[in-house]
A and B are shown apart, each in its own frame.
Chain A
Amino acid sequence: MEGFMYPNEVELQWGILIVLYPFLTGLVAGAFILASLERVFRVEEVKPTYRLSLLTALAFLIVAPLPLQLHLGHPERSLEMYLTPHRSSAMAMFGFVYLWYLMAVLVVEIWLDYRRDIVRLAESSRGVKGLLYRALTLGSYNISPAALRIDDRVGWIITLIGIPSAFLLHGYVGFIFGSVKANPWWSTPLMPVVFLFSAMVSGIALVLLMYMVTSAMRRVAVDMRCLDTIAKYLFYTFVIDFALEMLDLIHRIYESDESFRSLDFMVHTRLFYSQILIQIFLGTLAPLALLSLTQMITFPAAARRRIYAIASVLTLVGIFAMRWNVVIGGQLFSKSFLGYTTYKVGFVTREGLLPAVALMILPFAILYVLIKILPPWQEESPFVAEAHGDD
């Protein structure tokens, strides 16, 4: 500890797991927005990634509550959020928003989109797998064109509802931080918006990477038109995200209120590596430069793929760093503005590095299982033709 801190402030309350949570839900929201680009806004080019985006969102959403459970002092009481949610608390809406998004949006949309495949697989599979598919059909084997047309319409409506739902799923996390008037590093009306746009950036980058990786694993050619379109949306979203963060920074420097000197010192010392080097240079300026290059100059496909991959990885690192700088950074300085502390992250402790890494790997394991159960790729599915009708 350096300087003076209120005695109870020296120990950080929210650690790496709380950094991980908005990162994970951000990926969910971002992946879903990419899927909705095709479904609602008819950006046909990104269709090859539609199902992959949805499954990615689901895999990460399943894991999302786990860091929170590990963090709680009494995880066995977490159901209280459903029993007696305190309506003035942004955190209280977590349980309901999560459940709504998981069940009413993501699961229903995936089910509607995959219904034909599920029915066919239910009829053709044996054993446990067959049981699973038969359960998933909910007992209805109607995949006539009329039924599928209705599914498509309903799915469209669900996606439409899903967009503000995705905004809510991640925006409320931004509000959780942005509404804390006690903490000037967090308290700004921009916070939910910044969180949302950085979520979209991270989600799009993730799907871009997943598409390239899964195509390579399947030894299938990448649809360059799709990839270029995704990269384009990544670029646009990133520009907006960067503009918002710059706005916050410039505003702070200009107004220079009582917290500024303390925060400025903190950024230049405690957060130098994570904010200035990793988030800003490596994680924002570098990928923006790379992506803008591809928008201005036409590179050959192989070069573009490499640039996109590097830009996506840097983006993901940068967005994780942004979450770190918000959550951890907000606790490194004293609310007296007279001192600073350090964050000591354990390794094999309940809230340590090891569980955090495990939780970051787990969604990919779940995604692998989901891909096996619900194959996203039309070419491999014996049940050819569009997943949904076009109209």
Chain B
Amino acid sequence: MGEFKDIAHLIRLAGVFLLGLIFFLVFRSVTIPKSFGRYGPFRGAALVELSSRPLSFAGHAACENCHPDVAALKANGVHKSLNCESCHGPLAKHADDPGNVKPVLPDVAQLCIRCHSENIAKPAGFPQVNAKEHSGGQACNTCHQPHSPGFDAGGKR
């Protein structure tokens, strides 16, 4: 290779690089989030953050807790698989504080049409109507009880 004095500058260069590497390693150990790698190659604390979002929909179990009568009515009709908040909107705030937070009743004219207006792409067996032809513009709940909208053979709700 040569005498030491001829490679001294290369040693200095290597020294600079080594210093840089050490600085990087120290910086890295200080800055990496503590929870990183706890459950996998990601920041473990993210799981806590993501599972702690506030709820907007309470879920039908919460509704049925306080409104078993409506739940029973619904359970016997054709809307039995329809969850409460599907029509009534997100009600977690109401479920948490029923006395003070009152839900707004949905506008029937808009609501029923969303599912039941006829459309070629809907499954054939699904009840669909042309609203004007069907009821001449009357609100759907004039004849149908929303929680159990079907009629028996005698035309009774």
Residues of A near any B CB (own CB < 8 A): 79, 82-84, 86-87, 103-104, 108, 111, 115, 137-140, 142, 144, 146-147, 149-150, 154
Chain B residues with CB under 8 A of A104: 17
Task: Tell me which residues from 1 to 16 in chain B have a Cβ below 8 Å from any Cβ of chain A.
Answer: 1-3, 5-10, 12-13, 16
A140→B12 contact, CB < 8 A: yes
What string of 1s and 0s marks CB contacts (under 8 Å) between B40-66 and chain A? 010000000000000000000000000
Q: Which 3 A-B pairs have the closest CB atoms?
A: A140-B9, A147-B6, A138-B12
A81 to chain B, nearest CB (A): 12
A144 touching B6 in the complex, CB below 8 Å, given contacts A82-B24, A84-B36, A84-B41: yes
**B31 interface contact, C-beta 8 A:** yes
Residues of B near any A CB (own CB < 8 A): 1-3, 5-10, 12-13, 16-17, 20, 24, 28, 31-32, 36, 41
A147 touching B9 in the complex, CB below 8 Å, given contacts A84-B41, A86-B41: yes
Chain A residues with CB under 8 A of B2: 146-147, 149-150
A142 touching B8 in the complex, CB below 8 Å, given contacts A84-B41, A103-B17, A108-B13: yes
> CA A139 – CA B5 in complex, angstroms?
12
B16→A83 contact, CB < 8 A: no
A140→B8 contact, CB < 8 A: yes
Q: Other than A138-B16, A149-B2, A150-B10, give 12 A-B pairs with Cβ distance below 8 A.
A: A82-B24, A83-B28, A83-B31, A86-B41, A103-B17, A137-B9, A138-B13, A140-B9, A142-B9, A147-B5, A147-B6, A150-B1
A165 to chain B, nearest CB (A): 15
> CA A139 – CA B16 in complex, angstroms?
12
A-B contact pairs, 7 of them (CB 8 A): A83-B32, A108-B13, A111-B13, A138-B16, A140-B12, A142-B9, A149-B2
B31→A79 contact, CB < 8 A: yes
> CA A84 – CA B35 in complex, angstroms?
12
> CA A272 – CA B99 in complex, angstroms?
65
Chain B residues with CB under 8 A of A115: 9
A251 to chain B, nearest CB (A): 36
B28→A82 contact, CB < 8 A: yes
A142 touching B6 in the complex, CB below 8 Å, given contacts A108-B13, A111-B13: yes
> CA A111 – CA B12 in complex, angstroms?
13
Chain A residues with CB under 8 A of B36: 84
Chain B residues with CB under 8 A of A86: 41
B51 to chain A, nearest CB (A): 21
> CA A142 – CA B7 in complex, angstroms?
9
B32 to chain A, nearest CB (A): 5
Chain A residues with CB under 8 A of B13: 108, 111, 138
Chain B residues with CB under 8 A of A147: 2, 5-7, 9
A318 to chain B, nearest CB (A): 39
A236 to chain B, nearest CB (A): 36
A142→B5 contact, CB < 8 A: yes
> CA A30 – CA B80 in complex, angstroms?
69
A139→B12 contact, CB < 8 A: yes
Closest to B41 in A: A86
> CA A111 – CA B10 in complex, angstroms?
11
